[in-house]
Structure 1
Amino acid sequence: MQISTLHQEQNKIIKILFSEYYEKAELDLPNDMELREFAYQPFDSETYVRHLSFSSPQELRQYILQNVPLHLYYSSARYQLPSAKEMDEKGWLGSDLLFDLDADEICEVKVRRFCPQDGYETLASNCNGEPPIEYAEITTECIMKVFEKALLIRDILKEDFGLNARIFFSGNRGFHLRVTCYEDCALLDPDDRKEIAEYFTSPKPPVIYEGNPGWSGRIAKGIEGINIDTQVTIDIRRLVRIPGSLNGKAGLMVVEIKNDKFEYGEWLSPFDGDCIFLPYVSAELTLFNNKYTVKRTYPIKIDTRIGVYLALKGLGKVKAYVR
């Protein structure tokens, strides 16, 4: 048993856990990775390090072990010179087609607020001159509702466009869909992609009749347009999370969903053991259908997967962990 008790900024222990994860992580990288721009957000930084280029998975792993990422991305676009500092100098060769679904756009997400001075929940937008700690509490029911929309988008892409999309859990509270594009699909410009986005968000078939193909039959059966982040679909230079990486907003893995089956649970976190978690708030919190009672300034021993999640949500800090 090894115990770590680091007391510097709150991210120290989490950074160690991320680093250990990336030593063995299986990152799902494109076959043409040498044509992709890579980027990451470091710990304790609000800005991204961009314009990186790697020729092999081994080269990328060596880099991220020396520069542990809070978030890790590669470009949806292929470039002649992906490491060029100016976008106009990269030489755009085409882009994959992306869709982004977030719980905020699909469900009524409950946002809880806590005053930082005493940790108690409040309805106010201001706590004696300080902004409250905000926490969007995502339910399993909500996540599964978003997943159903992701399956619908995938099916429509196949039925109406003949395109094959892969579905990925974002590592936080949504799903990404990605069509690996070549030739005409890759060369779609932002206006083309906007039309595709609007096909999903605002379908307007000339007639509505059950049994008809496309949106005509779907609307007749009560299926409505889908709320997506249209800017993600339109943007030909979008950065996408690397499957197998960790989402620094929750500490959960970005994973591909196969066989139309997805379970929202602790398995999405790669961490094991227990940690000592120091809460900033006093509340009963629900996560993965389990309830956790925390009290401000009172350290508790908790599953590391839960402690990391709550810390990254700003509800406390990981003071120590046992592995």
Structure 2
Amino acid sequence: MNKIITLLFKDYYSRSKLELPFDMELREFAYQPFGKDTYVRHLSFGSEKELLDYITHNIPLHLFFSSAKYQIPSADDMELKGWIGADLQFDIDADEICNPKTISFCPICGKVLTNSKCEEHGMATTFSEITGECLSKALEQALTIKDILKDDFALDSKIYFSGNRGFHVYVECSGDCALMDSEERKQIVDYISGKCSQKFKGGRENDPGWIGRLAKGIEKTVFDEQVTIDVKRLVRIPGSIHGKSGLIVKKVESNNFSFDSSLCPFAGSAIFFPLITGEFQLLDSKVKMIRGDPIKLDVCLAIYAHLKGLGEVKLYVR
């Protein structure tokens, strides 16, 4: 992994403010180190300071806590952790709502591919363009889910930009909400996704369910059902950096969201060496690249392009 980006991540975490659950001592923490494909799991911390001290010495490419609450979160056997409840979450991916422009190319020779891999070098990198317009549609879905949770289930939720290509709707659960098993969560999934028009237990007596909602022109929501029904899911920590974009996992207020460099915690510029020739959408900017010709970019765009596989960051200027 690029040393410049590793140092920038380290600097960020040395001064960052993470949004952690009030009962963090009951949560499992996990991270993916730079240059590794595997996660370090079964970590437990009693305070934010303890966590930050750890991650400034073990720089995370991705950083998580568990939606589940455990008696012994540091136990390395899931059965020994002692599950005592879990929060409720929904994952909305813009890729599932829009049809993003995608290009596959060989990172060695820069050839645009029609096959799964370069015939000469046996490698392939795929880049999908995510636009602000597409993310706005995903946010509309998140807002719809938030409204349904509040109106039909009396559950308060928060919306977070995932840091990459979508949004999370998150309910901090206690009581009966936390103790729902996967089947009970599946009932909520079926209701919100429009698969079931019957009232869910706890809904208002005069609630028309999805029959009434669809009559009003509300579109069916699109989200990853497996995330919602999983009672032991890992959650990206708000305030952390997404390792596939360099952008912050950030709370979204209403529909006030812009897919631009304001989501990036870094300042300055960088020299970027493209691995492919073409024009690409990077956040809210169109950038023309010629393979092998260095270009000067805002550091946020350079990091985003690097983490998407388009080239290398060679020099950083604050």
Please classify the TM superposition score into its range, dividing by the shorter chain length.
Answer: over 0.9
**1:42 and 2:33 aligned:** yes
Size of the aligned set, in residue pairs, is: 311
Identity of aligned residues (%): 53
> Which of residues 64, 67, 74 in structure 2 aligns to 1:73?
64
- Are the aligned partners of 2:84 and 2:179 in contact in 1 as well (CA < 8 Å)? yes
> Which residue, out of 222, 227, 233, partners 1:232?
227
2:32/2:39 contact within 8 Å kept: yes
Root mean square deviation, CA, Å: 1.6
1:226-249 deviations in Å (ceiling 9; x for gaps):
111011001100000000000001
Cα distance in structure 2, aligned partners of 1:217 and 1:246 = 40
Is 1:188 aligned to residue 188 of structure 2? no
Q: CA deviation at 1:278?
A: 1.0
Give the secondary structure class of the aligned counterpart of 2:301.
Answer: helix
1:162 aligned residue: 154
Deviation of residue 45 (structure 1)?
A: 0.2
Output the CA distance in 2 between the equivalents of 1:75 and 1:12: 29
Note the C-alpha offset of 1:189.
0.3
Distance in 1 separating the partners of 2:215 and 2:198: 12
List, as ranges, runs of 4+ consecutive aligned residues in structure 1 with deviation greater than 4 Å: none
Residue 109 of structure 2 aligns with which residue? 118
Contiguous gaps of at least 5 residues in structure 2: 200-205
Work out the CA distance in 2 between the residues paired with 1:246 and 1:151.
23
Counterpart of 2:150 in structure 1: which amino acid?
A: K
State whether structure 2 residue 97 is matched by structure 1 residue 106: yes
Q: Which residue of 1 aligns with 2:308?
A: 313
* Deviation for aligned residue 1:257: 0.7
Amino acid at match of 1:254: V
Distance 1:322 1:181 in 2: 44
Alpha-carbon distance in 1 for matches of 2:209, 2:183: 22
* Stretch of structure 1 that moved more, 289-298 or 272-281: 289-298
Listed one character per residue, the Cα deviations across residues 268-291 of structure 1 (whole Å, up to 9, x for unaligned) are 011110111111111111123321
Q: Which residue of 2 aligns with 1:89?
A: 80
CA distance in 1: counterparts of 2:218 and 2:92, whole angstroms: 17
User: What TM-score do you get using the length of structure 2 for normalisation?
Assistant: 0.94
Of residues 278, 285, 288, the one that matches 2:283 is 288
Following the alignment from structure 2 to structure 1, what is the Cα–Cα distance between the partners of residues 108 and 80?
50
C-alpha distance in 1, partners of 2:251/2:171? 13
In structure 2, distance between residues paired with 1:200 and 1:131 = 41
